[in-house]
């Protein structure tokens, strides 16, 4: 009997000691029901005089504190993609506690520009996808004037998929962490078409027509013997007469007659050259090594000089040269799409 009483006392003391501690399991989810991993969960005593602080990290959406003293704590949950969650007075009374926590995502804005090596890309499809376990979330937009903006996107890790019927996406990275408002550049290789047995780069696409420039020089020649005026220049005459007449009738029917603004006057041309602004807009990165200097129609207002595009490595600039200088000719035209 004596030994029995001693055993009962030991069991009672052990039970009393165990009952003063608890196991707390928290399940972290977001509004879509996805589990949240890698969150930092801290239980700090409500009594600031105590030095005991408990910390765990969520795995597979769950975080468990084992053998933690019962009492009143401050619960704090931090995650880079979610707003901080705080309960100032979190009471632990029972031996086991299970609680579901709904975390509110940080909403971010991301703008992605579709940047071709040559040209401006519209109607590229950009998808942001996010995988969490068996759950999959996808956001999709098309570029307009070269860019697409996603607003109020939950922060998180996303995969990027970009597609265009004419351009090829160059995946510099396949995924990224979206935390706040950011701007990403997505790069595409140049689009080319064949027209009149020549290769052309696509500079811009519209509903019924596309703007193209010859991939290579068609020849080297002067701009004009004496004048830098596009309207009266020998190079304009060459492009719209002898060169234009080298196309077949069927090819000519596809070439769109276009009003061209140069300086303070307007011409109507089948074939023309880029101006300075257009050259720097359409040619953005990585230029073909064989292209060095070619004519544009921009002229110098204060001298008889005309202008060329000058490429040195991956650097593009426009420079003023004498109109009688010999440089490459790269015709530009709108053709029916």
CATH number at residue 64: 2.60.40.10
The predicted structure's pLDDT at residue 34: 78
The predicted structure's pLDDT at residue 312: 66
Q: Do both 260 and 306 map to the same domain?
A: yes
Q: Which long-range contacts (CB under 8 A, 24 or more apart) does 82-91 make?
A: 82/30, 82/36, 82/39, 82/106, 82/155, 89/46, 90/43
Q: Do both 221 and 250 map to the same domain?
A: yes
The predicted structure's pLDDT at residue 328: 94
Domain end: 53, 71, 102, which one? Answer: 102
Q: Do both 306 and 221 map to the same domain?
A: yes
Q: Do both 214 and 329 map to the same domain?
A: yes
Secondary structure element (H or E) that encloses residue 7, with its range: helix 2-19
**Three-class SS state of 14:** helix
**Tens-binned pLDDT, residue by residue, of the chain (337 aa):** 444 444 444 444 444 444 688 999 999 998 877 788 899 999 998 776 666 889 999 998 899 999 889 989 999 999 988 999 999 999 999 999 999 999 998 889 999 888 776 767 888 999 999 876 667 789 999 998 889 999 998 888 899 989 888 788 888 777 788 888 888 888 887 788 999 999 998 888 888 999 999 988 999 999 999 999 999 999 999 999 999 999 999 999 999 999 999 988 999 999 999 999 998 888 765 445 445 689 999 988 788 899 998 876 566 788 899 999 999 999 999 999 8
Q: Do both 196 and 289 map to the same domain?
A: yes
The predicted structure's pLDDT at residue 295: 95
Q: Do both 33 and 154 map to the same domain?
A: no
Q: Which residues contact 205 (CB under 8 A, 6 or more apart)?
A: 122, 123, 166, 211, 337
The predicted structure's pLDDT at residue 17: 46
Domain end: 189, 220, 251, which one? Answer: 189
Q: Do both 124 and 47 map to the same domain?
A: no
CA distance 214 to 137: 42
Q: Do both 156 and 282 map to the same domain?
A: no
Q: Do both 70 and 175 map to the same domain?
A: no
CA–CA distances in Å: residue 299 to residues 27, 161, 189, 251? 69, 42, 31, 30
The predicted structure's pLDDT at residue 96: 92
The predicted structure's pLDDT at residue 218: 95
Range of the domain at 295: 192-336
How many independent structural domains does the chain possess? 3
Residue at token pair 């040269």: 321
Strand runs labelled E in 155-191: 156-163, 168-170, 175-178, 182-189
Q: Is the separation of the CB atoms in 230 and 297 below 8 Å?
A: yes
Q: Do both 220 and 314 map to the same domain?
A: yes
Domain end: 69, 87, 102, which one? Answer: 102
Q: What CATH code is carried by the domain that includes residue 183?
A: 2.60.40.1120
Is 0.85 surpassed by the pTM of this model?
Answer: no
- Comparing CA positions, the residue from 166, 190, 198, 188 lying closest to residue 329 is 198
CA distance 13 to 327: 98
The predicted structure's pLDDT at residue 293: 86
Q: Do both 230 and 167 map to the same domain?
A: no
Q: Do both 246 and 328 map to the same domain?
A: yes
């Amino acid at each position: 009997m004596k030994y029995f009483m001693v055993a009962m006392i030991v069991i009672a003391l052990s039970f009393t000691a165990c009952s003063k501690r608890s196991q707390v399991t928290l399940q972290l989810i977001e509004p879509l029901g996805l589990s949240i991993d890698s969150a930092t969960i801290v239980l700090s005593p409500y009594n600031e005089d105590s030095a005991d602080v408990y910390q765990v990290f969520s795995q597979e959406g769950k975080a468990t504190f084992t053998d933690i003293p019962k009492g009143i704590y401050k619960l704090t949950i931090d995650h880079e993609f979610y707003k901080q969650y705080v309960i100032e007075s979190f009471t632990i009374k029972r031996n086991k506690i299970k609680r579901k926590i709904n975390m509110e995502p940080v909403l971010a804005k991301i703008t992605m520009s579709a940047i071709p090596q040559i040209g401006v890309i519209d109607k590229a499809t950009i998808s942001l996808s996010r995988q969490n376990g068996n759950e999959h979330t996808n956001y999709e937009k098309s570029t307009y004037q070269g860019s697409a903006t996603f607003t109020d996107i939950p922060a998180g890790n996303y995969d990027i998929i970009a597609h265009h019927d004419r351009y090829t996406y160059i995946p510099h990275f396949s995924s990224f962490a979206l935390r706040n408002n950011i701007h990403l550049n997505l790069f595409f290789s140049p689009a080319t078409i064949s027209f009149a047995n020549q290769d052309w780069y696509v500079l811009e696409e519209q509903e019924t027509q596309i703007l193209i420039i010859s991939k290579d020089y068609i020849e080297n020649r002067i701009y004009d013997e004496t004048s830098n005026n596009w309207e009266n220049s020998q190079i304009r005459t060459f492009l719209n007469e002898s060169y234009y007449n080298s196309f077949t009738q069927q090819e000519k029917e596809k070439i769109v007659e276009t009003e061209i603004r140069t300086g303070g006057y307007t011409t109507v041309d089948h074939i023309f050259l880029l101006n300075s602004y257009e050259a720097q807009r359409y040619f953005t990165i990585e230029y073909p090594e064989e292209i060095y200097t070619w004519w544009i129609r921009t002229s110098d207002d204060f001298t008889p000089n005309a202008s060329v595009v000058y490429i040195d490595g991956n650097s593009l600039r426009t420079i003023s040269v004498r109109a009688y200088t010999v440089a490459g000719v790269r015709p530009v035209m709108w053709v029916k799409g």
